[in-house]
């Protein structure tokens, strides 16, 4: 099957309301509690106890809620203040508008290379439209990758909230995505914190407005400050403060969980799902895969502006600017896609997998007044024993960008036509569960 994931950060609430709400009711939901400690964080505590001068590396893997300078920054400050003799170092591995189905592929590059001591995983909002099976596969893949690399890394799942899921939380139920993640947390003894429990409580009591506007500068303070302005992304000085306070509130309980000496070694038991995505990885593009005109962009000083902006996430970025430029990749595996950018200067792809019908996939969406990382998931649930061939070609026909853009974003195209005139493809690597096959 051929899928396309184009979730912009601002599209989340609308997408989940239209696509996910009805499906939420058919999945058993967990009781909404702020904290489940399970196996705790024994290895982090041991390192903290070892004392002065130790460096603690904390990784934050998630979407736009984590990418914001909010609970990620504030929680690290909380830890540094609580344990001043230690050096707390942040590993920022958050990308707006992306879920665990991309996070599991980039995990090795963006997290494991930095050798974290503690890993926070936040995808409950961005995974709101995903099927529980896929959430299990991706989240279990992240856990198993982390513990295969270093069994001493402690992990905490954190769940955030968006407007479509507020009523359920106020009624005492987790969202479908968070409930599915809890099954992975149960299986592996991973602590979980729902950062939105207190938010939902205050919104129900009327002491907080979940979606509203901040008072104008100099105006009298509002009786109930807004949590967010869009129903998804917390305001740094209100919503993110509540998120951080949730971590502070449960931390005492978390650090008091004694290690279980009878607990089995991590990864010693059977997986939750035999089809987990622990082998997900990014495969570099090579010149041999390419035909037509391709440019390897310089992301360093004095290099290409787009490549420089995304150099941390895509250290090798290729650009195709001429129609007919293509990538052909042969592999044995079950899941394959491309890790790329969407943006105003993007065209559309013609993607052909084996003998299946060619599909047209635009690399611009309704929010693309700017560039951001995304993915083209070309294939899933393939016969992993067979050799597959996929070819992605930059189409000569341009997408109807004005039609694709939301009405509120069309004035940007009218004002900056040159920004939308090119039809290019920026791609960083191949997403793969499997192995490349040489020609």
Please state the rounded mean pLDDT for residues 259-271. Answer: 89
CATH 3.40.50.1110, the chain: domain bounds = 9-255
Whole-number pLDDT of residue 216: 75
CA-based R_g, the chain, Å = 22
Q: What is the pLDDT of residues 405-432, one digit of tens each?
A: 999 999 999 999 999 999 999 999 999 9
How far, in Å, CA of 146 to CA of 104, rounded?
10
Q: What is the pLDDT of residues 133-159, one digit of tens each?
A: 999 999 999 999 999 999 999 999 999
Please state the rounded mean pLDDT for residues 44-70. Answer: 94
pLDDT band at 250 (very low <50, low <70, confident <90, very high): very high
CATH 2.60.120.260, the chain: domain bounds = 281-436
List helix spans (H) across 6-131.
12-15, 21-24, 42-50, 64-67, 71-82, 100-110
pLDDT band at 23 (very low <50, low <70, confident <90, very high): very low
Q: Class for domain 281-436, per CATH?
A: mainly beta
Domain 9-255, CATH number (from 3.40.50.1110, 3.40.1350.10, 1.10.287.10, 3.90.79.10): 3.40.50.1110
Q: Cα 241 to the chain's mean position, in Å?
A: 21
List helix spans (H) across 68-131.
71-82, 100-110
Whole-number pLDDT of residue 219: 66
Residue, of 23 and 86, whose pLDDT is higher: 86
Whole-number pLDDT of residue 12: 43
**For all residues of the chain together, what is the average pLDDT?**
92
Q: Cα 363 to the chain's mean position, in Å?
A: 18
- Assess contact for 392 and 349: CB atoms under 8 A: yes
Contacts of residues 359-363 at CB distance under 8 Å and 24 or more positions apart, as own/partner, are 359/2, 360/395, 361/2, 361/4, 362/399, 362/404, 363/399, 363/425
pLDDT band at 25 (very low <50, low <70, confident <90, very high): low
Q: What is the pLDDT of residues 310-321, one digit of tens each?
A: 999 999 999 999
Whole-number pLDDT of residue 6: 34
pLDDT band at 235 (very low <50, low <70, confident <90, very high): very high
């Amino acid at each position: 099957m051929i899928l396309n994931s184009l979730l912009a950060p601002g599209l989340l609430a609308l997408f989940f309301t239209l696509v996910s709400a009805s499906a939420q009711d058919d999945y058993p939901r967990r009781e909404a509690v702020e904290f489940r400690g399970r196996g705790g964080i024994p290895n982090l505590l041991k390192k903290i106890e070892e004392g002065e001068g130790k460096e603690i590396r904390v990784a934050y893997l998630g979407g736009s809620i984590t990418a914001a300078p909010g609970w990620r920054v504030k929680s690290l400050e909380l830890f540094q203040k609580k344990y001043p003799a230690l050096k707390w170092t942040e590993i920022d591995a958050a990308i707006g508008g992306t879920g665990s189905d991309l996070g599991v592929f980039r995990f090795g590059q963006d997290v494991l290379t930095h050798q974290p001591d503690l890993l926070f995983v936040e995808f409950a909002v961005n995974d709101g439209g995903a099927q529980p099976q896929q959430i299990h596969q991706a989240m279990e893949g992240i856990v198993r990758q982390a513990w295969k690399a270093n069994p001493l890394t402690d992990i905490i799942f954190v769940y955030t909230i968006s407007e479509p899921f507020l009523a359920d939380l106020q009624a005492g139920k987790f969202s479908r995505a968070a409930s599915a993640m809890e099954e992975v947390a149960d299986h592996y003894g991973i602590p979980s914190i729902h950062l939105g429990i207190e938010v939902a409580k205050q919104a129900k009591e009327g002491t907080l407005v979940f979606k509203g506007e901040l008072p104008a500068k100099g105006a009298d303070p509002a009786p109930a400050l807004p949590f967010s302005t869009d129903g998804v992304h917390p305001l740094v000085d209100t919503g993110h403060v509540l998120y951080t306070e949730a971590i502070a509130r449960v931390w005492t309980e978390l650090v008091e969980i004694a290690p279980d000496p009878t607990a089995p070694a991590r990864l010693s038991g059977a997986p939750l799902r035999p089809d987990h995505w622990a082998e997900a990885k990014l495969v570099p593009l090579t010149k041999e895969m390419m035909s037509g005109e391709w440019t390897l962009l310089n992301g360093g000083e004095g290099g290409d502006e787009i490549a420089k902006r995304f150099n941390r996430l895509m250290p090798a970025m290729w650009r195709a600017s001429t129609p007919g430029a293509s990538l052909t990749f042969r592999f044995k595996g079950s899941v394959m896609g491309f890790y790329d950018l969407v943006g105003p200067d993007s065209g559309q792809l013609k993607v052909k997998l084996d003998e299946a019908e060619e599909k047209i996939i635009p690399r611009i969406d309704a929010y693309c007044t700017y560039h951001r990382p995304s993915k083209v998931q070309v294939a899933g649930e393939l016969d992993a024993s067979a050799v597959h061939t996929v070819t992605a070609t930059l189409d000569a026909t341009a997408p109807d960008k004005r039609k694709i853009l939301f009405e509120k974003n069309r004035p940007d195209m009218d004002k900056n036509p040159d920004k939308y005139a090119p039809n290019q493809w920026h791609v960083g690597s191949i997403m793969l569960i499997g192995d490349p096959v040489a020609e």
